[in-house]
Amino acid sequence: MAAGSIRDAVNGCGACEGNAPVRELGELKGCTRAGTSCGSCVPMLKKLLEGELTKSGVEVSKALCEHIELSRQELFDAIRVLELTSFEEIMAKYGTGSGCDICKPTIANILASQNSAYVLDAGRGTLQDTNDRALANMQKDGTYSVVPRIAGGEITPKKLGVIAAVAEQYGLYTKITGGQRIDMFGARLEQLPEIWKLLVDAGFESGQAYGKSLRTVKSCVGSTWCRFGVQDSVAMAIQLELRYRGLRSPHKLKMGVSGCARECAEARGKDVGVIATADGWNLYVGGNGGATPAHAQLLAKDLDDETLIRYIDRYFMYYIRTADRLQRTARWQEELDGGIRHVEDVVVHDTLGIAADLEAAMAKHVDTYVDEWADTLKDPERLRRFRSFVNAPDQKDDSITFVSDDRGQMRPATAEEKALALQQPVLIGASIPVRAAAPELLDKNEV
């Protein structure tokens, strides 16, 4: 939908019933249907709404949701200062009601950002969305993807063999991603612990593709192999990925490290990009792809390794503390008063006097990091979450069906293909599968 139509809806120009102006984001989505598919346009929708309300002289609420009047930044600071550790404590002090699908995952994310405790313990599991609860991304057919971390894109032949063996054993579809990892698709919920046991035993850990956290640090081969490389980009990418792995944030984070100005790792398309120079590293921040791409902007030049990491620590932690819910670094940076110059003042020149605090917060994260899947496998109670059927934990979900495509790859079966395989009619719309009773249990008149 065009931005003009959104503005018309906000101002009450015929888009909604009764020609009434719109004042809430949820109302705007329901009225225009904008932001109700993939959701990538919701931040822009919110910005348009707030801009039109401001022009109309309407005070714009910064409340997180109807249950919490504080903004995300205010709530983050309150939780940090008072050292609150549970949803119940936070709602008792700052909220009303039982929470919703906005404040629950936001609070879960804030708690995870400040404490590296297992994200599903102490009642936090009920706050998480589907992907975080399963520690895996749910796919369109109800199966899950398995994404082990491959730091910097570097992997040994032995570990490649492990991934191949696991994919073969469980019949998983494999795909090399743009982040230099190998995704495996088609795992049922109850298979996830079995698969991760094999991967963890082989030295892999969770790639956290399911979390609002660091995803990947992409790298070129750098000076080790490339005749144009001026710095070891692979070593730096691995160091950065292992430092920031598991770091929960308002939105996903991506990084890139290029070994020379040819920029083969596309670092300037990432939230944090590092490009080698003859004298060190140039640091770029606030880039992303997505629906509204943005090039990262230069923050500092010719940095040594230690200074580079110190500035990234400060940048990430400042973003985590002050960004809005589900706001990418590019949009956060654009909306800061002063933009990149403000970021430079805080991160490089420490004009707010918080650099040491930001670095200490990052050091705490690094020191307390634990792999979520390794922790899950150690605890039988945690493993109880991974069952397709609560009352039949060993039974597989027969509704999940795969077929081979014309490339020789497996894929989820369509409704028509499932019906053909089961020799059943195709049902239109949602349905609940019913298992027929044995003939001897039916009324004779019904047989």
Residues 102-135 have pLDDT tens digits of 999 999 999 999 987 888 888 888 899 889 999 9
Is 447 a residue whose pLDDT tops 50? no
Percent of the chain with pLDDT over 90: 69
**8 Å CB contact between 333 and 322:** no
Q: What is the pLDDT of residue 173?
A: 97
Q: What is the pLDDT of residue 195?
A: 98
The pTM of the full predicted model, rounded to 2 decimals, is 0.86
Non-local (6+) Cβ contacts of 147 within 8 A are 136, 137, 177, 181, 182, 183, 184, 206, 207, 208, 209, 210
Q: What is the pLDDT of residue 436?
A: 45
Is 348 a residue whose pLDDT tops 50? yes
Q: Given pLDDT bands bounded at 50, 70 and 90, which one contains residue 440?
A: very low
Give the model confidence (pLDDT) of 75-112 as tens digits.
Answer: 999 999 999 999 999 999 999 999 999 999 999 999 99
Closest CA to 290 of 51, 113, 42: 42
Percent of the chain with pLDDT over 70: 89
Decide which of 304 and 44 is more confident.
304
Q: Characterize the bridge pairing of strands 297-303 and 280-285.
A: antiparallel
Q: What is the pLDDT of residue 28?
A: 74
End-to-end CA distance of the chain: 54
| Residue 62 burial (CB count, 10 A) | 13
Mean pLDDT score, 267-273? 98
Q: What is the pLDDT of residue 203?
A: 97
Mean pLDDT score, 218-243? 98
Q: State how far the alpha carbon of 273 is from the alpha carbons of 17, 216, 252, 281, 404, in Å.
A: 47, 12, 15, 10, 39
Q: Given pLDDT bands bounded at 50, 70 and 90, which one contains residue 1?
A: low
Q: Given pLDDT bands bounded at 50, 70 and 90, which one contains residue 390?
A: confident
Q: What is the pLDDT of residue 123?
A: 84
Q: Given pLDDT bands bounded at 50, 70 and 90, which one contains residue 425?
A: low
Decide which of 402 and 438 is more confident.
402
Q: Given pLDDT bands bounded at 50, 70 and 90, which one contains residue 19?
A: low
Average pLDDT, the chain: 88
Is 29 a residue whose pLDDT tops 90? no
Q: What is the pLDDT of residue 339?
A: 96
Amino acid letter at 150?
I
In angstroms, rounded to a whole number, what is the distance separating the alpha carbons of residues 208 and 243?
14
Is 431 a residue whose pLDDT tops 60? no
Mean pLDDT score, 427-432? 50
Q: What is the pLDDT of residue 307?
A: 98
Alpha helices in 42-114 (DSSP H): 42-55, 72-82, 87-94, 103-114
Burial of 35 (0-12, 13-18, 19+ CB in 10 A): buried
Mean pLDDT score, 336-352? 97
Is 282 a residue whose pLDDT tops 60? yes
Is 374 a residue whose pLDDT tops 90? yes
Q: What is the pLDDT of residue 408?
A: 87
Is 16 a residue whose pLDDT tops 70? no
Decide which of 15 and 221 is more confident.
221
Q: Given pLDDT bands bounded at 50, 70 and 90, which one contains residue 439?
A: very low
Is 327 a residue whose pLDDT tops 60? yes
In angstroms, rounded to a whole number, what is the distance separating the alpha carbons of residues 230 and 241?
20
Q: What is the pLDDT of residue 389?
A: 78
Mean pLDDT score, 257-267? 97
Domains with residue ranges and CATH for the chain: 3-55 (no CATH), 72-128 (no CATH), 215-378 (3.30.413.10), 402-446 (no CATH)
